[in-house]
Amino acid sequence: MRINHNIIALNAYRQLSVNNTGVQKSLEKLSSGMRINRAGDDAAGLAISEKMRGQIKGLTMASKNAQDAISLIQTAEGALNETHAILQRMRELAVQAANDTNTETDRAEIQKEIDQLAQELARIGNTTEFNTQKLLNGNFNGVFQIGANEKQNLLLQISDMRGFALGVVGGVTYEITGTVGNTNSSFETGTYAVKYDASRDEYQLVDSNGLVIATSNDGGKTYTAKANASDQISFSDGVISGTVTIYDNSGTLEAKGTATVTNKGLEAGTYTYDASSGELKDASGQVVARSSNGQTFEDAAGNELFTLGAALSGNTSFEVKGVDVSSYDKATAAITTINDAIEKVSAERSKLGAYQNRLEHTINNLEVSAENLTAAESRIRDVDMAKEMMEFTKQTILQQAATAMLAQANQLPQAVLQLLR
């Protein structure tokens, strides 16, 4: 028997330490609900589960991205619903105008509503936004991240749904000052309608009685009086639509006409040209185009909106009308034009609806994938509470038994005293 080293007590103490560690780990797992609380619990399991966690979080966020994308699409589609309603009303007005029971005055009143509707198309296209991003002006070209990994995305481009792109915007008109030739002019002050005679291939100035007082064979730049060939009104740009007004300016006859140019992108509305700054502003004062020479106008992106036949030297007002319904021929042609616009909007709405349905299926798939990965990650990472409780109970009993045995082992050296008596 030895008393310097109580091997039995050391063994009991080692077993007690092992049992204490087991109890501590079981308590940690039971209190956290996790089977892996540190890399040492299961190194491989930790690495696999962390990869799964990254995928799960990515799938969850991708599902949110897809839901946001649906919200964006619904915003655009909701605006296009009103665009459809406007086009249907424009078509109704065009059908009304394409009836010769209407006078020119009647058609002019119909034109006023069409002009306002065309302006509203521009306003909807320019102001419909999602998270400050314009949706219907042709600039939206988005990428939606709908997966947990790189390049798992969906591309969406929304076409320009404003009036000009839909073809329901007319030409640009502006007022231009002309010079009246011949001091003893036979022209009388008043306002004359500008009309085109296809049979003669000439533009005409017609008075209120329907009498032609002057004609032009050079595209509306020079009008020669019927009464006297030496009496002419000269414009720097062709006046081929609207009216020409002749007025007395302190004993000198002058003329103003409405000139028309080909529109390349300007939406319906009233615009003002500031000659000092070269800016063209809309009715709200927003700059929509600039010109360095008073002749060629470009938007902020450098796209040419229109070019005048002659440079402007002073402030001028521009008007862009809706589709023209001023005559039977123009009104009946407008019906087809508006039909085409309705089909364009229908096609765009159909495309957006298809994308929305696709994204709804995407969300379902992402949620199923996230659920299955979560289940797999749970099997690796989460603790089985019932099984761990069994382990905890075992470790607790062993801890108690080891404590009791350590106490007994500590008493064994006392027996040596019996030999010393």
pLDDT-based confidence at residue 40 (cuts at 50, 70, 90): confident
pTM (predicted TM-score): 0.77
Q: What is the mean pLDDT of residues 153-173?
A: 93
Domain boundaries, the chain: 53-165+331-370, 170-325
Q: Phi-psi bin for 373: left (phi > 0), alpha (psi -120 to 50), beta?
A: alpha
Largest Cα–Cα separation, the chain? 161
Residues near 358 by beta carbon (within 8 Å), at least 6 away in sequence: 154
340-380 pLDDT, tens digit per residue, is 999 999 999 999 999 999 999 999 999 999 999 999 988 88
From residue 407, alpha-carbon distances to 1, 6, 43, 257, 402 in Å are 18, 12, 37, 118, 9
Q: Which CATH architecture has domain 53-165+331-370?
A: Up-down Bundle (1.20)
Q: Which residue has the higher pLDDT, 412 or 327?
A: 327
Average predicted confidence (pLDDT) for the chain = 90
Q: Which residue has the higher pLDDT, 262 or 69?
A: 69
